[in-house]
Structure 1
Amino acid sequence: MASRTPHAKRVAVDDNGLSLTTVKIRAGLPNLRRRKSHLTIEECFRKARSRFGCRLVGFSIMSNHLHLLVHAPDAAALSRWMMGINIRVAKALNKIWGRKGKVFLDRFHSTFAKHWSNVRRLVNYALNNARKHGLAIPKGEVDKFSSAAWYPHWTEGPQPKRPARECPVVSRVGVTLPRLPIDWRPGRPYGCS
């Protein structure tokens, strides 16, 4: 049986309102890190990036889960936004995969930023998650299956080349986003530049 995220009471969202939310797909479904799936998910993000008072700030698409950086006014708004985005993405993926049925597991997991250092850690974790999983990304480049190319605050080297397609995330948010090293790896210090 697939692992499930345990049901836990959602913590209150503070003034910052930034969360790193992870949602997993069911076992046996195609890899999300394929071009057609990736572009389909991005299109869903473009359509839903600012709804229910929530704003999608960043994302990372992994083979069987999504990491979403969401700025939400409260836990109820985040839950509504997550329900909506899960339905939108599931319908779109089922269409391209030629199937019907559930795509996502029942629950999602959220970690809320309580301090500036938490914001930095969550953004870094989401945008550099492919490196954490050991996926090969050339030095000085960013994961093409994430919103990292649109992130404006990289501290090292030239800014990544942005794709010609429209940015799938909200670029201006109510939380100041931190500066990050472009090829951060686990164990590397986070120091601000």
Structure 2
Amino acid sequence: MARKPKMGTQAELDLPERNWGGARKGAGRKPKGPRPLGDRPAVPHLRRGEIERRHPVHVTVRMMPEVWNLRTHRAWNVLSRALLAARETGARLTHYSVQGNHLHLILEVESRQNLGRAMRSISIRIARGLNQLMRRQGRVVADRYHTAVLRTPTQVRNAIRYVLSNTRKHLLERGEELEPVTMDRYAAGPADHVPRTMRLAGSDRPLLEPRTWLLQVGWRRGAA
């Protein structure tokens, strides 16, 4: 029986030393496409924290620059259907404010997963509806939605004031003269939550009455 040839000793290759540690410039997950909102930083692609059902959530959703003004009757028809359909996911919309290129929502959800399902439903319906309205195809929602979990009475009170007074805030930023009371036809929330400086005429059809203690009672105990 023939012997197998004897294998020679493998030569050692002169390879550069590995250096796989620490932060590197340009490393990490890249954002989806160019930042559509100028210098505004993207919402980071990090795992969102857990949410308890007793904590409401303030959500901000921004649109691409080429999307039409949301504060119109025809755009609101699309938005209202999307917000109403979020009930099917188990989420409860209690407050909203529609601005020209973004939405503010306050939601009660069961968990982080529940919030994800609700926002997917809302975003997909808004994208389909607005694209159909504008007779175009392409991206509608500019970035990941931003969330702020409201855990204290003060946080809830501030979020309610911020959302329901958002139109007044943007008027001030533009340097426009304000009346003592600002009318907003594209915002709504529980009547006792509305700031004195605002008169809201938005539809309450997509809204549900708050169930959490923080939105029912606790917000009144927040610092003024």
TM-score range, shorter chain: 0.7 to 0.9
Q: Which residue of 2 aligns with 1:182?
A: none
- 5 Å-filtered alignment, 1:1-193, equals 1=34, 2-3=36-37, 4-48=42-86, 50-134=87-171, 138-148=179-189, 151-154=191-194, 156=196, 160=199, 162=201, 167-175=205-213, 176-177=215-216, 178=219, 191=224
Offset at residue 160 of structure 1 (A): 4.5
Offset at residue 116 of structure 1 (A): 1.0
Decide whether the 8 Å contact of 1:16 with 1:113 is kept in 2: no
| TM-score w.r.t. length of structure 2 | 0.69
Offset at residue 155 of structure 1 (A): 6.2
Could you list the structure 1 runs, at least 4 aligned residues long, displaced by more than 4 angstroms after superposition: 159-163
Q: CA RMSD in A?
A: 2.6
- Using CA pairs below 8 Å that are at least 6 residues apart, which structure has the higher relative contact order? 1
Decide whether the 8 Å contact of 2:53 with 2:108 is kept in 1: no
Query: Measured at CA, do residues 39 and 190 of structure 1 come closer, stay the same or move farther in structure 2, by a change above 3 Å?
Result: farther
Q: Which runs of 5+ in 1 are unaligned?
A: 180-188
Q: Which runs of 5+ in 2 are unaligned?
A: 1-33
Offset at residue 161 of structure 1 (A): 6.9
Q: Which residue of 2 aligns with 1:185?
A: none
For 2:200 and 2:145, the matched residues in 1 are separated by 32
For 2:50 and 2:114, the matched residues in 1 are separated by 11
| TM-score w.r.t. length of structure 1 | 0.79
SS, match of residue 36 in structure 1: helix
Aligned residue pairs: how many? 178
For 1:115 and 1:166, the matched residues in 2 are separated by 25
Q: Alignment identity in percent?
A: 26
Give per-residue Cα distances to partners, 1:12-57, cap 9 Å, x unaligned: 2134231111111112221112221123212322232x23221111
Query: Measured at CA, do residues 72 and 31 of structure 1 come closer, stay the same or move farther in structure 2, by a change above 3 Å?
Result: same
- Structure whose CA Rg is larger: 2
